[in-house]
Amino acid sequence: MADHIVTAYDTELQTLGRKIAEMGGIAEKMLSDAMDALVALDVDLAQAVVASDPRLDVLQRDIESASIMTIARRQPMAVDLREIVAAIRVSGDLERVGDLAKNIAKRAVKIATEPRVPRAVIGLKHMNELAANQLKDVLDAYAERDVERAQAVWTRDSELDALEDSIFRDLLTFMMEDPRNISFCTHLLFCSKNIERVGDHATNIAETVFYLATGDTLPLDRPKLRSGGSLVPTPEAQDEP
């Protein structure tokens, strides 16, 4: 009987893990497709990104309710409880990544008819690749319970923040050069903010991997690249600039 209970419990955990892996795959694809749609101003691709989002929402609701039911039914303690809390948190982060990718896709549709500023998209594409790598790495770290890899993601987030700063300044320059660039570049500003927030969700997941492995939390202050390039902790990393 004890065996049976353990097996059923393991099956529940495996199902949670499989659903999170599915969410991760969808979120990664949405993010990369959204950027492709933005670069090519490809309205069809953008609409496909928007259409993928409801699946992510359904998966997140499923994971949340299955997790809560498992906690209530099995009364797991210590690492088992952390497994389930981690599943709830990671699925919440992935659902938000999907929303952010969807928002980029919608902006691609909105600016498809605007005068283009091709130079302005280059930095954004680079930034998106960095964020996509962070997301991929941290999902691998989560799948393998690899704390070191998670911490590396957590530390690297400062690069994304620095890049957003520089893109912000570039976009302001393009807007000042020619008022016809303003509307286009304004949407790109929001896209850049969205990508930076994808990075924040990757660091949230890194923190969850750390919590899962150690039962502890990473310090509230994340390291942030200051202009000098040195890594110093600052409490302001979460929502800059």
Q: Show the tokens assigned to 177.
A: 């050069």
One residue of 55, 106, 136, 149 binding a copy of itself per CB under 8 A: 106
Q: Note whether 190 binds a copy of itself by CB under 8 A.
A: yes
DSSP-assigned beta bridge partners for residue 223:
233
Q: Note whether 110 binds a copy of itself by CB under 8 A.
A: yes
**Apex 188 CA angle, 56 and 125, nearest 5:** 75
Task: Determine if the peptide bond prior to 241 is cis (ω within 30°).
Answer: yes
One residue of 10, 40, 57, 119 binding a copy of itself per CB under 8 A: 57
Residue 118: partners with Cβ closer than 8 Å, 6 or more residues away: none
Q: Note whether 241 binds a copy of itself by CB under 8 A.
A: yes
One residue of 52, 66, 102, 141 binding a copy of itself per CB under 8 A: 102
Alpha-carbon gap, residue 178 to 227, rounded angstroms: 28
Residues 25-54 that bind a copy of itself (CB under 8 A): 50, 54
Q: Give how many residues touch a copy of itself by CB under 8 A.
A: 37
76-85 exposure pattern, b = at least 16 Cβ within 10 A, e = fewer: beeeeebbbb
- Of the candidates 168, 165, 160, the one whose C-alpha atom is nearest the C-alpha of residue 189 is 168
Q: Is the dihedral of CA 51, 52, 53, 59 positive or negative?
A: positive
The H or E element spanning position 53 is helix 43-74
Q: Show the tokens assigned to 26.
A: 């969808």
CB of 124 to a copy of itself, least distance (A): 16
Q: Note whether 149 binds a copy of itself by CB under 8 A.
A: no
Q: How far apart are the first and last CA of the chain?
A: 56
Q: Show the tokens assigned to 128.
A: 């998106």
Q: Note whether 147 binds a copy of itself by CB under 8 A.
A: no
Q: Note whether 62 binds a copy of itself by CB under 8 A.
A: no
Interface with a copy of itself by CB under 8 A: which range of 27-35, 97-105, 112-120, 157-165?
A: 97-105
Q: Note whether 182 binds a copy of itself by CB under 8 A.
A: yes
Interface with a copy of itself by CB under 8 A: which range of 11-19, 24-32, 156-164, 168-176?
A: 168-176
Residues 197-236 that bind a copy of itself (CB under 8 A): 217, 220, 235-236
Binding residues for a copy of itself, per CB under 8 A? 50, 54, 57, 61, 68, 71-73, 75-77, 81, 85, 92, 99, 102-103, 106, 110, 172, 175-176, 179, 182-183, 186, 189-190, 193, 217, 220, 235-236, 238-241
